[in-house]
Amino acid sequence: MLCNKRRKTTTAASPGAGISDLFDGLPDDLVVVVLGKLTSTASSPSDLVNVMITCRRFNRLALHPLVLSKAGPKAFDFRIEYWSESTHRFLRQCVVAGSVEACYTLGMIEFYCLKNRGSGASLMAKAAIKSHPLALYSLAIVQFNGSGGSKSDKNLRAGVALCGRAAYLGHIDALRELGHCLQDGYGVAQNAAEGRRLLIEANARELASISNSSIRRPTCAGDHPSASGCNIPAPEAHPANQFLRDWFASGRGVVAQGLRLCSNGGCGRPETRLHEFRRCSVCGNVNYCSRGCQALDWKLRHKTECAPFDRWLIEDDDLEADDGGENRIEQFGDGENVESE
User: pLDDT by residue for the chain (341 residues), tens digit each?
Assistant: 434 444 444 444 445 445 556 777 888 899 999 999 999 999 999 998 998 888 888 899 999 999 999 999 999 999 999 899 999 999 999 999 999 999 999 999 999 999 999 999 999 999 999 999 999 999 999 999 999 999 999 999 999 999 999 999 999 999 999 999 999 999 999 999 999 999 999 999 988 887 776 555 544 444 444 433 445 667 788 999 999 999 999 999 888 889 999 999 899 999 999 999 988 878 888 999 998 898 889 888 888 888 876 554 445 444 443 434 333 434 444 434 334 43
Q: Which amino acid is at 108?
A: M
What are the C-alpha distances in Å from 227 to residues 14, 232, 295?
67, 10, 13
pLDDT for 33 equals 93
Is residue 200 situated within a structural domain? Answer: no
Residues 6+ away with beta carbon under 8 Å from 198: 167, 175, 176, 178, 179, 182
Is residue 270 situated within a structural domain? Answer: yes
Is residue 299 situated within a structural domain? Answer: yes
Residues 25 and 242: their CA atoms lie apart, in Å, by: 41
pLDDT for 20 equals 57
pTM exceeding the 0.75 threshold for the entire prediction: yes
Is residue 133 situated within a structural domain? Answer: no
Residue 324 CB: number of other CB atoms within 10 A? 8
pLDDT for 310 equals 58
- Name the residue range of residue 266's domain: 253-304
pLDDT for 299 equals 86
Taking alpha carbons only, the member of 127, 131, 134, 93 closest to residue 244 is 134
Residues 300 and 311: their CA atoms lie apart, in Å, by: 26
Is residue 108 situated within a structural domain? Answer: no
Is residue 155 situated within a structural domain? Answer: no
Helix (H, G, I), strand (E, B) or coil at 99: coil
pLDDT for 230 equals 47
Residues 101 and 238: their CA atoms lie apart, in Å, by: 10
145 touches 154 (CB < 8 A): yes
Total domains present in the chain: 1
Is residue 148 situated within a structural domain? Answer: no
Residues 6+ away with beta carbon under 8 Å from 9: none
Beta bridge partners of 337: 331
DSSP code of 261?
B
pLDDT for 232 equals 61
Taking alpha carbons only, the member of 85, 84, 138, 66 closest to residue 293 is 138
Residues 60 and 64: their CA atoms lie apart, in Å, by: 7
Is residue 268 situated within a structural domain? Answer: yes
282 touches 146 (CB < 8 A): no
Taking alpha carbons only, the member of 144, 181, 176 closest to residue 159 is 144
Residue 336 CB: number of other CB atoms within 10 A? 13
How far out from the chain centre does Cα 173 lie?
Answer: 11
Residues 282 and 260: their CA atoms lie apart, in Å, by: 18
Residue 327 CB: number of other CB atoms within 10 A? 11
pLDDT for 1 equals 41
Query: Beta strand 287-288 with 231-232: parallel, antiparallel or unpaired?
Result: unpaired
